[in-house]
Amino acid sequence: MKREERQQSIVNLLVESKTVDLDDLADRFTVSKMTIHRDLDDLEHAGVLRKIRGGATIDAGTQFESDFRIRERQGHEAKLSMARKAIQLVEPGMTVMVNDGSMAAVLGEMLVQKRPLTLITNNAAVMERLKSESGITLIALGGIYSPKFNAFLGVVTEEALFRLRADIAFISTPAVSGKIAYHMDDNVVRAKRAMMSSSTRKCLLVNHQRIGHTALHVMADLADFDAVITDSPLEAAVQEEFDRQGITLTIASTQDLT
C-alpha cells in the first residue's frame, strides 16, 4: 500500500472511531511503528489529527480542531436536525450570515428553502453549493483561504464584514462551558465576532457533545445570542446549570428527521 493510501485509510478509521492506536495500525498495515509515526506526523502537520500517547485522535482539544474534511463526514443527522430548527428563524427577503464549519455548510444548503435571500458567508462549501442558485444573492467574503476550515479568514474578511449588515447570523462553535463559547483558532474567532457585530440577531449552533468543553480562545458569552440550538437533551446537571444562568437551549432532536 502506498503512503497516501495508508494515510487515507488512517483518516477513514479516525472518522469511524475518533481514536487510533499506534500498535494496531502497525499490525493492520504490516509496517513498522516508525512508519506509522511518520504517517501520523504528516497528518498532524496537515491539521487532520492530533497525536496522543500511543496513537492519535480527532477529538477536539483546547488548541486543536480536526480538518473540515473530517468534520463534514461526522454527525450528519445531528447537523440536519439543528439546521432544520435554525432555518425556522429565517424568512424570505432576509439578509443572512453563515460562518465557517461543516455544521454551517449543512445549514447553508437548506437556506434555498427560504429564498429569496441575501446570503453573506466566508464558508467555501456554502459558496460552491449556492453560487448558481436563483433567488440567492450570494455575497462571498474574500480573505486568506484556510484549507483546514474550508473558509476565508483574516483582515480582508473582517473588514468586509464591518461594512455589511444582516438580519441574522448563524455562528457555530466547537466548545461551550458555563456561559462561554470557545474556539481554538484566533482568526476564526475574529471572523465570527465580526459577523455577530454586523447582525441584528445571532444564533449559536453547538453539538451537545461539545458542551462542557473549552478551547484556547473565548469567543462570546452565550447571553450575546438570541437563540442557542443543540441537537440532543443534556444531562440533568448540565441543563440545570444553563437554567441557573438564564440560558435557554432549543433542542433539535434527530427524531424530528423521521
Which CA distances in Å does 176 have to 109, 172, 193, 235?
25, 11, 16, 14
Lowest mean pLDDT: which of 52-66, 112-126, 133-147, 165-179? 52-66
Domains of the chain, start order: 3-59 (1.10.10.10), 75-257 (3.40.50.1360)
Lowest mean pLDDT: which of 30-44, 76-90, 240-254? 240-254
Mean pLDDT for the stretch of residues 56-68: 75
Which CA distances in Å does 81 have to 60, 102, 165?
22, 14, 27
What are the start-end ranges of the H helices in the chain?
3-17, 22-29, 33-45, 68-71, 76-86, 102-110, 124-130, 155-162, 186-197, 236-245
- 166-206 pLDDT, tens digit each: 999 999 999 999 899 999 999 999 999 999 999 999 999 99
pLDDT value of residue 54: 92
pLDDT value of residue 71: 78
Mean pLDDT for the stretch of residues 129-157: 96
Secondary structure element (H or E) that encloses residue 119, with its range: strand 117-121
Mean pLDDT for the stretch of residues 123-147: 96
User: Backbone phi, then psi, for 221, in 5-degree steps?
Assistant: -85, 140
- 207-227 pLDDT, tens digit each: 998 999 899 999 999 999 999
* Res 103 pLDDT > 60: yes
Averaged confidence pLDDT in the chain: 91
pLDDT value of residue 76: 86
State the DSSP code for 143. Answer: S
Q: CB-based contacts of 45: which residues, under 8 Å, 6+ apart?
A: none
- 14-46 pLDDT, tens digit each: 878 889 999 999 999 999 999 999 999 998 887
Tell me, what amino acid is at 69?
A: R
Spatial CA neighbour of 72 closest among 141, 130, 124: 124
